[in-house]
Structure 1
């Protein structure tokens, strides 16, 4: 990458070739000009060649990377034709999703990094709106909670009760298990983000920031601020099989710099089965107690 992009989209992926192609298609249609894409694959090994023409990054192996399928290859060509640099490679052996995110963050150069799950399609203005929000508010992160549109008729008013907008830029706040703020996690279940946006009504381009416990699936971070609070370096304190690693990174960022969800979201969850086989261990349940009392000065 010769010139650092303003936004770098980081996609950890595993065994999701169809979903990854859909995710890349959403990126290829974005109306934000200055972003690059890095795909890091941990798919199971099935001998097939890489057809992508992407710039290789990371540890190569005989795994079948999702980005090597014809559909993903086509989207990579579109992205590159539009001037977006694409890097793709494998990162093996798997050491858990937190380590995978740590690897991606360490290779990133963008001023902002968008961690995007490999089963999320973005509406064309999503990155532009997220960029506008984080540069105006100067907080640690902004997130577009993923929406499960199969739940459009499943209204859950009780789960929307913790909703509260930020009156201005997000401020630092202490969010931990057992606090009232933690109850906001229900805001992002099913199609709740869609229903929240509908309740707010048309906003004529205004950004609506709201208070969160955390956001999964589509989160734009200020890279320097994320690294200043330790990034995902805590992966060494976790068992290999875990989930909830993004929660830990975000609560540290919120404590020092603040963070927010934004509406409308623009991030659509494809609702594919998870490829994290063992989700019994939540990262925030197993980190040492002092994790909640400190944030490293550097990464």
Structure 2
């Protein structure tokens, strides 16, 4: 195992999508380990021939690979907390089980977080079925970070909250086309949050308590990743990067009940 970076993949009832996610990881050339934690109702999503093949490919490339079943389900935040608790890596990349990463995406994320020295760097997922759907008004809040991202407090109603539109549909593709100049390896920009693929500095994540707030939430909730990102960005700063390299598989959500948002229950700036 590398010890430097581990990709943490929570999964549930997505055997096809998980195999695709693992295939994207297997095509990366940056050193990292992988942990997959499953909460499926039936057989584990990683217990299929395609997924097992991709896990073998990762091991053959020298990756440390861990798989486990994590039941009973106590909610998204608890699942993420358990994955984090099982990792000792310096950097942890939470990658959802419906995200395919283009070659070079992990290396780009790692390069950015090391050079920027901030608490998190995210690759916003892109819905490629929307490539022809250009939304200039939603791209308007885009703003580069001119240097190291500064700490900032984000919550609903703030000006920074309006950046959420940057990540709708295929907007990250269109932002890349507009703002990545020839010769630039990556561009860091200001975010409200990033869904699906976020690399954390483990020390920053631990400093804000990680996902340790999970007992305060009912089992059915969402927005736990948003809350954690707000806490990290308030103390350590954070950024999105272009090119994203994270492609959303656009499968139906496995979290249909979104009536409870974590930030409505747990105060974003409350001490962990």
SS at match of 1:12: strand
Counterparts of 1:133 and 1:38, CA distance in 2 = 22
Counterparts of 1:281 and 1:153, CA distance in 2 = 33
Deviations 1:9-51 (A, max 9, x none): 000000000000000000000011x200000000003xxxxxx
> 1:35 is matched with which residue?
32
> 1:69 is matched with which residue?
48
Counterparts of 2:51 and 2:184, CA distance in 1 = 32
Shift of 1:200: 1.5
Aligned residues: 272
- Show the 5 A alignment for 1:108-257: 108-257=87-236
Instruction: Work out whether residues 4 and 109 of structure 1, in 8 Å CA contact, stay in contact via their aligned partners in 2.
Output: no
* Structure 2, unaligned runs of 5 or more: none
Q: Does 1:80 pair with 2:77?
A: no
Shift of 1:4: 5.0
SS at match of 1:174: coil
Counterparts of 1:114 and 1:293, CA distance in 2 = 23
SS at match of 2:234: helix
TM-score by length of 1: 0.89
Counterparts of 1:27 and 1:292, CA distance in 2 = 32
CA RMSD of aligned residues (A): 1.1
Shift of 1:281: 1.7
* Structure 1, unaligned runs of 5 or more: 46-63
Find runs of 4+ consecutive structure 1 residues off by over 2 angstroms: 291-296
SS at match of 2:188: strand
> 1:59 is matched with which residue?
none
- Which is worse superposed, 275-284 or 241-250? 275-284
Deviations 1:118-171 (A, max 9, x none): 010001100000000001111000000000000001111111111111001111
SS at match of 1:233: coil
> 2:17 is matched with which residue?
19
Counterparts of 1:111 and 1:167, CA distance in 2 = 26
